[in-house]
Amino acid sequence: MFPPIEPYRTGMLPVDDIHTLYWEESGNPSGQPVLFLHGGPGSGASPRHRQFFDPAHYRIVIFDQRGAGRSTPLGEYRNNTTQLLIEDIERLRTLLGIEQWLVFGGSWGSTLSLAYGEAHPERCLGFVLRGIFLCTREETDWFLNGVRWFYPEVHAQFVSMLPPEERGNVLEAYCKLLFSDDPEVFLPAARAWGRYEGSCLYLRPDPVAIEDFGSDAIALGVGRLEAHYFRHGGFFDHDQLIRDIGRIRHLPAVIVQGRYDAVCPPATAFRLHAAWPESRLQVIDDAGHAAYEPGIAAALVDATERFKLTGAF
């Protein structure tokens, strides 16, 4: 990854009566625009995300999606849908005077990248996608239930705060807690959700990631917004992202996937690649889900370098 850098411009963009979005630009103000879309939904962006891009070449645009990170209010799920996030991206693009950009996203960021690209293919130069998530019912069921086959103790801790009679529907049981108006109810639930996800991100569990995801600054956005989006099927029609893949198949794309990704298992990346055979699929055999695992980080940087030089992957 490239050395740490600071943004040369930041701002807060009001998008409705509730939400105001944090955005930033770093790197080369006259460079090739690239849009970074963070995961979650709700996890927010971090300074390390700037380091996937050569700052001498790229104009790096990062923003925190509704209810996430430095955007306000944190954890707000009202007026929060995929369609509104796509509108936010277009609003930001217009504000910054950008015609087209490379779109880079991992996990939920890959979901939003595909949704945005399929809505506005003319604004995209290509896609760097990691840890593919299509927000299907099968994938959300895996995250909420199937993970116990690999992390039984982590899953047991996750469901331990639910009444035994409600553990048959983990999502709805957590929604009751997460969408409560009482901080003494929703904050412990959000922390538990965040620790659960943080515990499964890396091939070798990372205590720092677990602590970060369990912190109020991340957990509230991740817990509430992931539950909100899962509950509504990502606000997609059935299999919409695969159905509409023809809208972006003419654009270059690379898919980076950890072989042992327990959060977003590789079958989904293979399914996307099968629907988009022109894309390049790169499986990292010694990695889980996290973007910062050495093999995944190296592949992502290699992708941005390839695009810098050739406009392809």
Burial zone of 278 (CB within 10 Å; 0-12 exposed, 13-18 middle, 19+ buried): exposed
Length of the chain: 313
Check: CB of residue 125 under 8 Å from CB of residue 101: yes
Count of beta carbons in the 10 Å neighbourhood of residue 298: 14
Check: CB of residue 300 under 8 Å from CB of residue 273: no
Query: From residue 10, how far is each of 15, 59, 164, 263 by CA, in Å?
Result: 16, 13, 47, 32
Count of beta carbons in the 10 Å neighbourhood of residue 27: 23
Q: How far apart are CA 197 and CA 115, in angstroms?
A: 23
Sign of dihedral through CA atoms 7, 9, 15, 21? positive
Please give the helix or strand (H or E) that residue 54 lies within, else none. Answer: none
User: Which tokens hold the place of 292?
Assistant: 């910062």
- Which residues are annotated as catalytic? 107, 261, 289
